[in-house]
Amino acid sequence: MGELIAPRRAARAFVAAGVAARVAGWAGWLLIGVGAWLAVYPSVVLLGSSVVVGGRIGLDHYLRALSDPVVHRAFGNSLLVSTAAALLGTTLGVLLAWLTTRTDLPAAGTWHAALLLPYMIPPFIGAMAWVYLLSPVGYLNRLWTWLSGSTDPLLVIYGPGGIVFALALYGYPIPYLVVRAALERLDPALEEAARMSGAGPLRVLREVVAPIVVPAVASGALLLWVSSLANFGIPAVLGFPARYFVLPTRIYGTVLNFDMPDNLRVAASLSVLLAVPAGLALLGQRRLAGARAERFAVVTGQGGAGSRTELGKWRGPACAVLASVVLLATVLPLAAILVTSLTRAYGVPLGLENLTLDHYRTVLFGIPKVARALRNSVLLAASAATLVVVLAAAVTYLSERLHWRAGRVLEGLLAVPYAVPGTVVAVAMILAYARPLPVVNIRLYDTAWILLIAYLARFLAIGLRTVSSGLAQVHASLEEAARIGGAGAGRAFRDVVVPIIWPSLRSAWLLVFIPAVAELTLSALLYSVGNETVGVVIYGLHEEGKVALSAALAFVVTALLLTGHLLTYRTPRREWVT
C-alpha cells in the first residue's frame, strides 16, 4: 500500500477512466433516447392526434367534447367523485395516522401493517368484492332482508355513492402514509415546549401540531384526488351497471366504439382533457411538498419518543374504529370473494351443501385463456420490473456519481406518464403504435410488447425515485474509501454500492411488479387476443356474469399479492412510501 502504483498500471487506469467516461456518455445518450421514446413520443402523438380532424389541423374534437352533454356529465362526475373520495379518504387517513403515531395505542405497528393491506388489493377486485356484498342480491343485502323482513335491499353499491365509498376505502392509505410521515418527522420538542409554556395537550394539538402538519394533509388529499380521478377499475365495475360514467370509463367506451368516426382521435382529446386537472393537481402537490414543507419538517436530532396522547377511556372506541376500517377494507371483501368463489353459483343460498371447489378447478386448469393470462401477467410484470430496476440503477448511478445532469431531464420526462392517468397513457400508446414501426414493419399494437412499453413508461418514474433515494444513502465517501483501498470503479460499485442499495433495488422491483401484475387500466385498452392479462380476464369473466369463476381467479391473485406483501414487509417502510 505504501508503494506507488507502477507507471504502466497507472497509465492503463488512466485510459480505462477515459473509456469509462466515454461509455458513460454513450450510455447516457442511450438512456435519454429510451426516456424520450417512452415518454415524449407517445405524448406528442397523443397531442398531435387530438388536433387532427379529417385530414387537417383543428380543435374540432375539443370543441365537440366541450359542448357534448355526455362529456360534460362524465367530466362533472369525475370531479364530483374524486373530490368526495379525497375528502372522505383524507379525513380517514388523518385520523388513522394520528391514532397510530401520536397516541399510546397498543400494537400500533400491527395496526399499521393491517391498515396498509388495502393498498395491495387491486382496486377493481376490491370493487368486485363490494358487488358481491352489496349488489341487489349481495350478501349484506340478503342478511338485511333476512333480519328486517323487508324486500328492498339496504344499499346498492352501484352508482356514484358506491364509487366514492370504494375510492375512499381503497385510497385512504395514500393520505395516511403522507400524514404519518409528517407526524413522525415532527420534533417532539415542539410539543414539549408548548406544554412547558402552559398549553394543555388538546391546545398543543390544535395550535402546534395541526398547523405544521396541514401541508402534508393537503398534499395527501391532492394525491388521493388525482388517484381517484385517474381510477378506471372502480368506476368500471361499479359505474357501468348504473350507467354512471366518469371520464376514464367514457374514454374507454370511446376507444371501443368502432362505430364512431375518428373515435381514437376523439379519445385522444378526451384524454388530454383528463390529463389537465390531474397535471395541475400534481404540480400543486409538488409545490406543497417542496420548499415550504422542508421548512416545516423539523427533523428530530435524537429520536426521542414523540409525545403520545394517552387515550384512556377512548382506547376502546379507537380500536373499534381501526377494526372497522380493517374489516371493511380487507376482511369483508376478501371473505366475500372467497365465499363467492366457493359457492356453486352466485345468488344461491349460502350453505355447506352449495360449497364447491369446482370453480377453482375450472378457472385454473379448465380455461386455457386463464393459464395463458396468468403467464402473460407474471412475465410482463417481471420483465417490466427488471427493466425498470436496471434502467433506474443506471440512470441514478450516472446522475449521482458521474454528475450526469441529463438525469434530471430524464426524471422530468418520465414523470409525465406516471402522473398522467393510466387511461391517457393507454390511449397514447395505441395511437403511437397503431401503425407498423418503420423498417421492421411490425405492428406492436397487436402484441404483448405494447403492454411492456406501457408498463415501462408508467412505472419507470417510481423505479427512479426509489432507487435514487436508496443511492442517496450511499455517501460517495463509502465508494471512495474502497477506491483508496485499491478497488477499481467496477469493483467498488459491486462490493460497496450494490449491497447497500440492494434493498431499494428490491423495493423498486416489487413496487413495479405488484401493481403491474394485476393491473387493469392499461391492459383493458391495450390487450389483444392471446395477450390478455389476468386483470383483463378477471374483469371479463365478471362482466360476462361468470361471477364465481371471476371470484376464484380474483382470490388466487389477491392471495398471492397479499402474501408477497407480507413476506417482504421487512423492508423499511420508508421504501414503500412513494
Partner 1 sequence: MARVRLEGLAKRYGTVWAVRDVELEVADGEFVSVLGPSGCGKTTILRVVAGFTRPTLGRVVVGDRVLSTPEAQVPPEKRGMAMVFQTYAVWPHMTVFQNVAYPLRCMRVPAAELEARTRRALDLVRLRGLEDRRPHELSGGQQQRVALARALVAEPSVLLLDEPLSNLDARLREEMREELAELHNRLGFTVLYVTHDQQEAMALADRVVVMRDGCVEQVGTPQDVYDNPATAFVARFVGAASFLEGEARPRGEGWLEVTLPGGVRLPVPHARPVAGPALVCVRPEWMVADPGGSLRGRVVRRVYMGERADCVLEVPGGRVLWRTEVGRSPAVGEELSLRLLRAVVYPKTAASTSEGMVAT
Give residues in contact with partner 1 (CB under 8 A). 187, 189-190, 192-200, 203, 208, 211-212, 295-296, 298, 300-302, 307
3-state helix, strand, coil in the chain (%, to 5): 80, 0, 20
At its nearest, how many Å lie between partner 1 and the CB of residue 239? 41
- The residue (of 286 and 292) whose beta carbon lies closer to partner 1 is 292
Which residue's CB is nearer to partner 1, number 304 or number 316?
Answer: 304
State the minimum distance, in angstroms, from the CB of residue 185 to partner 1. Answer: 12
Q: Count Cβ atoms below 10 Å from residue 28 Cβ, excluding itself.
A: 20
- Whether residue 348 contacts residue 354, with contact meaning beta carbons closer than 8 Å, is answered with yes
C-alpha distances (whole Å) from 442 to each of 33, 429, 433 are 20, 15, 9
Q: Minimal CA–CA distance to 100: which of 176, 207, 170?
A: 176
Neighbours of 309 (CB within 10 A): 18
Contact at 8 Å (CB) between 487 and 415? no
Helical H runs in 434-543? 449-472, 476-484, 489-492, 498-517, 521-526, 534-543
Pick 187 or 400: Cβ nearer partner 1: 187
For the chain, the farthest-separated pair of C-alpha atoms sits apart, in whole angstroms, at 95
Q: How many CA atoms lie within 13 A of 545 on its CB side?
A: 1
Give the nearer residue to partner 1 in terms of CB position, either 8 or 313.
Answer: 313
CA distances from 1 to 14, 17, 430 (A): 19, 21, 60
Select 194 or 274, whichever has its Cβ closest to partner 1.
194
Smallest gap from Cβ 205 to partner 1, in A, equals 13
Cα(482)–Cα(486) distance, integer angstroms: 7
How many other CB atoms are found less than 10 A from the CB of residue 435?
10
Judged by CB, which is closer to partner 1: 190, or 326? Answer: 190
CB nearer to partner 1: give 185 or 369. Answer: 185
Shortest separation between residue 87's beta carbon and partner 1, angstroms? 23
d(CA 347, CA 123): 23
Residue 179 CB, shortest distance to partner 1, in Å, is: 16
The minimum distance between CB 218 and partner 1, in angstroms, equals: 14
CB 16 → partner 1: shortest distance, Å? 43
Task: Report, in Å, the least distance between residue 525 CB and partner 1.
Answer: 46
Cα distances (Å, whole numbers) of residue 524 to 464, 482, 537: 26, 49, 9
Other CB atoms within 10 A of residue 561 CB: 20
Task: State the nearest-atom distance from the C-beta of 299 to partner 1, in Å.
Answer: 9
Closest CB to partner 1 among residues 150, 302: 302
With respect to partner 1, which residue has the nearer C-beta, 306 or 535? 306
